[in-house]
Structure formats: structure tokens, C-alpha cells
């Protein structure tokens, strides 16, 4: 009746033929096809999940191959969703695939996630992690969360209203800049471990059905598993449900979906220059200061010697729009958020930027005003 490929799991009493049929009928969405998504996709496809949705906007880069085991050297430059689909289809021709070669964002999150039974978060940035959580809570769908950095990994299953959500654990993205894997580094085999465990938890949820769980198969619902692979110490912590959680304490129709900006994943490699460390004369002798605020803000006051390039116009800027200048570029806005976005845009256009002024013009003007002679 069944493909012999599934024999080793059907023989498990907690799984059986019923579990296999449940898996075959299941639709799983993988958000991100990187270090976590690669092993998760491979094991889900191999185990006989019915349909996999794959969303990732990126192309394969040689720096991915250290941990993203879906791809080969020859795949460099190709779209991840396309190469992943070819690999997974070769592994299991019964698998149905749905491809989204796009960025997961507030505009598409609801329509895409609503088509699946379970979502696996394989993203590498906070903006995406919070959005995945919020949409899963809104849709009352189980979410298998995973995260890796350097030598350490985290794993959890969130499923409102049966347990807490990611925001019960972390209410908001961190205010301070947190480096991501590209900057801080990560061990490929650790990504493989956590991604494989995400596939395992996903299959446990799909085979077990709705909580509460009474059988010996107990998914990591409402619990956080932490692994420090340097020493192989691990911990499982119970995550309390926050009765005042800004997301899972609300009725679904009141949960907003928004794109978080200016956190991890954005402004990678940006140097923070403190305004207090900038002497007034230094600002325009040491750096080419670039003001990315709008006209009305520029007119109300700006750093002497700065050039004005509003953020709203940056996506259309051309190489000829910029002065040839030896000084390193220093971006600033009013409070330090828009300058991070400007950094991402300019970097994508091939410019080299030294950094931005932490907390922007507001912080820069502070010491100047303090230093002004009193009338």
C-alpha cells in the first residue's frame, strides 16, 4: 500500500499508517531556505509530507554552501526556490511544491500562510521572525521556531491559543543592534541540527493533531530548548503565556501585521558613530555627511557642509548624483532609523559607507547647543 521509502517510520507505533496518511495530507510552509530551511525541507520531503511551500527571495551564494545543504556549487547565482524544488523533487517525486521567489513581508504573509497547516520559521532576521509569529497567531496555526547564532541554537513550538507565542517570550525586536550570522558567524552542522529538529517537531505536531497531547509524542509546545554546542549543554525552559501579550492576548481580527524596520537583517555591517564623539568641526572635515531627511527637516537645520539626499529619492539615485569625495560617507537622519534604511539602499547600489550617526541629527545638535555661548 505504501512506498517502501516510509517503512522505517511507519513501523513506529506512535506513527503507523495513520501518521503517514496524516503527513501525506499535510501542507507545510518553509519561510526561508537557508541554513535551517535546507535540512528541514530535505527531511520533510523525505518523510512524505504532502505539500511544501517554499518562500525565499535570494539566489544561491558560495558563502551559503557551508550550511545550506540543499545546494551544490553549480547552483551559485540561481534562485534558491528553483534549485531547492529540483533537489526536493528528485528526492521524492510524490511531493507537491509551491514556490514563492519573494520576500516574506506584511503584504503577502497572510495570504500565503493561510494556505498551510503549519509554518516553519527558517528566517535569519528579527523582522521576519516577529512577522511570522504575528501571522501564525492571527491564523491560529502552529509555528515551529528555530534560531542559530555562532555555536548556539534555540527551538520552540508556538501555537496560539494552545500556548504562548514568540512575543510572550520576546515582546519586541531588540533595541540594540544584534549581529546576524553573516557578521557573528555560525557553525554549519549546528544549522543542520536545528533545522532537522524543526522538521522533527513539525512532523510530531502534524502526526499528533490538536493539543493537549496525551500520547508519548509530545511536541515542544510552549517550551524553549536551548543548545550550547560548544559544551553540548542544553536546557528546556517552560515559556509562560503573557496575559498582556500585544499579539496573542488579542482577538485575531485585531492583530496588525507590519514590517519591522531597522533591526537585525537591516543595515548589516553599519558602524554606529556617536554624536558626542563628533566635534562640530570634525563632522564636516573628517566625513562627507549625507543628510537623508526630507526637505522641511533639512531647511530647519543641518550639519554644516553636509549634502542633502532624502531617503525617498535614494532608490532612484544614479552614480552621477554623488560628488567625487575622498572622505568616508557618514549618513544621518533625525533619530537614526531612516539612516539605517538609507545604508541598505546605498549599499545595494554598490556604494561604500562608513556609518551613520547614532540617534541622528537630534543627538548631534545636543552637544552643539550645550556648547553654544549663552546670550
The catalytic residues are 181, 333
Whose cell is 520531503? That residue is 45
Q: Which of the residues 285 through 324 are near Zn ion (CB under 5 A)?
A: none
Contact call for residue 49 and Zn ion (CB under 5 A): no
Q: Are 275 and 367 in contact, with CB atoms under 8 Å apart?
A: yes
Contact call for residue 141 and Zn ion (CB under 5 A): no
Q: Are 194 and 257 in contact, with CB atoms under 8 Å apart?
A: no
Shortest distance, position 247 Cβ to Zn ion, whole Å: 5
Distance CA 179, CA 346 (A): 20
In the list 41, 245, 273, 331, the residue contacting Zn ion (rule: CB under 5 A) is 245
Distance CA 81, CA 248 (A): 31
Nearer to Zn ion, 115 or 258 (CB): 258
Q: To which H or E segment does residue 14 belong?
A: none
As given in the structure block, the three cell numbers for residue 366 are 545636543
Shortest distance, position 47 Cβ to Zn ion, whole Å: 30
Nearer to Zn ion, 165 or 333 (CB): 165
Nearer to Zn ion, 245 or 330 (CB): 245
In the list 44, 220, 248, 342, the residue contacting Zn ion (rule: CB under 5 A) is 248
List helix spans (H) across the chain.
Answer: 7-10, 16-24, 37-47, 80-91, 109-113, 126-139, 166-169, 181-184, 188-208, 280-286, 295-299, 338-348, 360-371
Shortest distance, position 109 Cβ to Zn ion, whole Å: 17
In the list 31, 36, 155, 168, the residue contacting Zn ion (rule: CB under 5 A) is 168
Which span (58-66, 161-169, 173-181, 312-320) binds Zn ion, by CB under 5 A? Answer: 161-169
Contact call for residue 156 and Zn ion (CB under 5 A): no
Distance CA 113, CA 55 (A): 11
**Where do contacts with Zn ion occur on this chain (CB under 5 A)?**
165, 167-168, 245, 248
Amino acid at each position: 500500500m505504501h512506498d517502501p521509502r516510509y517503512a522505517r517510520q511507519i513501523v513506529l507505533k506512535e506513527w503507523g499508517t495513520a501518521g503517514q496518511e496524516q503527513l501525506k495530507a499535510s501542507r507545510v510552509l518553509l519561510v526561508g531556505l537557508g541554513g535551517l530551511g535546507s535540512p528541514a525541507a530535505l527531511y520533510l520531503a523525505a518523510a512524505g509530507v504532502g505539500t511544501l511551500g517554499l518562500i525565499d527571495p535570494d539566489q544561491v551564494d558560495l558563502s551559503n554552501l557551508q550550511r545550506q545543504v540543499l545546494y551544490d556549487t553549480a547552483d551559485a547565482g540561481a534562485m534558491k526556490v528553483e534549485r531547492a524544488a529540483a533537489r526536493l523533487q528528485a528526492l521524492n517525486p510524490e511531493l507537491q511544491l509551491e514556490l514563492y521567489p519573494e520576500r516574506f513581508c506584511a503584504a503577502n504573509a497572510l495570504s500565503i500562510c493561510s494556505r498551510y497547516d503549519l509554518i516553519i520559521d527558517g528566517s535569519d532576521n528579527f523582522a521576519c521572525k516577529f512577522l511570522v509569529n504575528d501571522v501564525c497567531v492571527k491564523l491560529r496555526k502552529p509555528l515551529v521556531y528555530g534560531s542559530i547564532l555562532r555555536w548556539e541554537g534555540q527551538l520552540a513550538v508556538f501555537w496560539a491559543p494552545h500556548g504562548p507565542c514568540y512575543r510572550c517570550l520576546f515582546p519586541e525586536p531588540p533595541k540594540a543592534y544584534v549581529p546576524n550570522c553573516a557578521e557573528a558567524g555560525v557553525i554549519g552542522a549546528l544549522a543542520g541540527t536545528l533545522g532537522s529538529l524543526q522538521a522533527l517537531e513539525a512532523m510530531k505536531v502534524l502526526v499528533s493533531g490538536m493539543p493537549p497531547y496525551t500520547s508519548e509524542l509530545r511536541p515542544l509546545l510552549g517550551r524553549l530548548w536551548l543548545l550550547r554546542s560548544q559544551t553540548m549543554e542544553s536546557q528546556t525552559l517552560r515559556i509562560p503565556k503573557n496575559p498582556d501579550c500585544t499579539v496573542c492576548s488579542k482577538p485575531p481580527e485585531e492583530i496588525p501585521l507590519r514590517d519591522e524596520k531597522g533591526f537585525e537583517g537591516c543595515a548589516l555591517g553599519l558602524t554606529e558613530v556617536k554624536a558626542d564623539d563628533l566635534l562640530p568641526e570634525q563632522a564636516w572635515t573628517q566625513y562627507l555627511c549625507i543628510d537623508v531627511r526630507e526637505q522641511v527637516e533639512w531647511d530647519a537645520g543641518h550639519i554644516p557642509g553636509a549634502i542633502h539626499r532624502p531617503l525617498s529619492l535614494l532608490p532612484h539615485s544614479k552614480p552621477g548624483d554623488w560628488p567625487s569625495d575622498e572622505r568616508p560617507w557618514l549618513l544621518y537622519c533625525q533619530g537614526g532609523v531612516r539612516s539605517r534604511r538609507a545604508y541598505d539602499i546605498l549599499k545595494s547600489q554598490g556604494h561604500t559607507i562608513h556609518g551613520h550617526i547614532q540617534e541622528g541629527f537630534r543627538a548631534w545638535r545636543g552637544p552643539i547647543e550645550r556648547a553654544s555661548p549663552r546670550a
